[in-house]
Structure formats: C-alpha cells, structure tokens
Amino acid sequence: MGIIEKLRLDNKKAFVTGGARGIGYNITLALAEAGADVAIVDMDESTAKTSAEEIAKQTGKKIIAVKADVTKKADVDAMIDSVLKAFGRIDVAFCNAGIALNVPAEEMTLEDWNKVININLTGVFLTAQAAGKVMIKQGGGSIINTASMSAHIVNVPQPQCSYNASKAGVIQLTKSLAVEWALKNVRVNSISPGYIGTDLIMNSPLLKPLIEKWCAQSPLHRLGKPEELQAIAVYLAGDASAFTTGSDFGIDGAFTCI
C-alpha cells in the first residue's frame, strides 16, 4: 500500500472531544475528509449538532454529536456507549477538550486550579482510559491528546500556571499510556500547538492586545491557523503512523525555539 493510501482513514471510527468549535472542529473535519466517521463530543450540544451537520454535508461521512462533560466519568462512559452504538468500534480517540485561565499564581483559588486540571488533565485521562479499554478489547487504536506548547515553555505576559502544569501533565500521561499499551497495539501521542487563531481568539476584543504581543514574540510573526493542525491529526490517526507512539508533536511556527 502506498503512503497516500496509508494516510486515508476510510472505515475508521473516531471521536473528538471539544469538537464543536475551534481546533476540535478542524480536526473533526480533517478526519472526515480523510474518510472517517466521527463523533463530536462536547459540552455545548447545540453547537456540536450544528457542526456535525455542516461536516456531514461537506464530507458525506456519518458525523454525530454527543453531549458529555469530560470531567465526569459517568458522562464519558455514556459517551463511549453512544459512539459504540452508532459506529460499532472506536479506532481514533482525539482528547482535545481544554480551557485556559489567566490568573496570577498568588491569587489563584483552589477552585480555579481544580477547574483547569479537571478539564485539561483529568478529562484527558478519563477519556483516554475509556477509549483505551475499548481499543484493547478490539485489538488496537490510536489516541491523540491535545497538549500545548505551554507544556514546554512559560507563556508571557499572561499568567497561566494551572494551564501550563495541566498540559505538561498531558504529555507525561501520553507517554505513560503509550508504554503501558504498546503491546496491546494502542498508540498514544500528543500534539503541542502554538498560539492558534480560532474564531473565538480572533474575535475577542480582550485578547487583541495579547495577540499583537504573541505575534511579535513569534519567529513567524503570526498565529497558526486551525487548519494547520489537520495534517498531523490525520497522520497520527491512521496506519501511516504505525511506529509512532509516545511522541509529542510541536506545531508552533518555531515559537518554542527561542
């Protein structure tokens, strides 16, 4: 089989958490364009449904919306059941839901800290664990977690210690699962995007001054586009990356080089 064929995801069944908008939406679109049926898993059910309809229309693939809060084990388990009911198997689990909170460390409440860790780290664990169990039983699969360049560097000027710590945790969790599940044919990798200009970020008047600073700091003098994460998602999801597990992929326009 040639490399372009290996990159195809025909007959694969996937889900993407936080897939209703932003990076998750673009990843869902990419997986579907490559041939997969995809479940958009999100807290925001109405946007998830609209996004699923859009992507189904555009790609002709089966795209469903499943409401779940990734911090709740019962929600995650119910989501896995729904995906299995719709698709019969899970080949690709993209654990992407995450939030950022900019609060100076000395002012951060335990509640704020827990909120970020619960969604960004515990949510990834619960989702990857539930998907991993299914994949082990069915003989294999690919799990991809969205970390961040913030796992590698400390962003400035905004204070975001809980976010940075949560994303560093995602990378070490990814490596741990990759080693535990290597012989079970379940691959686990992470991506570490730099600043990505999602609609939410680009349309936020509050973030405008920050965006200017981030662009000035970046060697490319611009934010990444959500679609610039699509190729790595397709690569990691499918058989072309059979020997790739336990790796983190930086897509940050050389931001972390300086």
Rounded to an integer, what distance in angstroms lies between the CA atom of residue 101 and that of residue 88? 37
Q: What angle do CA 55, 35, 78 make, to 5 degrees?
A: 65
Nearer to ligand NDP among residue 11 and residue 204 (C-beta): 204
Out of 14, 52, 98, 250, the only residue in the binding site for ligand NDP (CB under 6 A) is 98
Q: What angle do CA 101, 103, 107 make, to 5 degrees?
A: 140
Is 163 an active-site residue? yes
- Annotated active-site residue in 167, 190, 192, 241: 167
Nearer to ligand NDP among residue 76 and residue 240 (C-beta): 76
x/- string (CB under 6 A) for ligand NDP, residues 185-224? --------x-xx-x-xx-----------------------
Out of 14, 23, 128, 177, the only residue in the binding site for ligand NDP (CB under 6 A) is 23
* Binders in 45-74 for ligand NDP, by CB under 6 A: 68-71
Rounded to an integer, what distance in angstroms lies between the CA atom of residue 110 and that of residue 242? 41
The number of CA neighbours under 13 Å toward the Cβ of 162 is 25
Rounded to an integer, what distance in angstroms lies between the CA atom of residue 170 and that of residue 163? 11
Is 148 an active-site residue? yes
Question: What letter does residue 189 receive in the DSSP assignment?
Answer: E
3-state DSSP assignment of residue 162: helix
User: At closest approach, how far in Å is the CB of 243 from ligand NDP?
Assistant: 25
Is 25 an active-site residue? no
Which range binds ligand NDP by CB under 6 A, 5-13, 18-26, 80-88, 177-185?
Answer: 18-26
Backbone torsions φ then ψ of 249, nearest 5 degrees: -115, 115
Q: Is residue 21 at the binding interface for ligand NDP, with CB under 6 A as the rule?
A: yes
Q: Where do runs of H (alpha helix) occur along 16-106?
A: 22-33, 45-59, 73-87
Catalytic residues: 148, 163, 167
Binding site for ligand NDP (CB under 6 A): 17-18, 20-24, 42-44, 68-71, 96-100, 119, 123, 146, 148, 193, 195-196, 198, 200-201
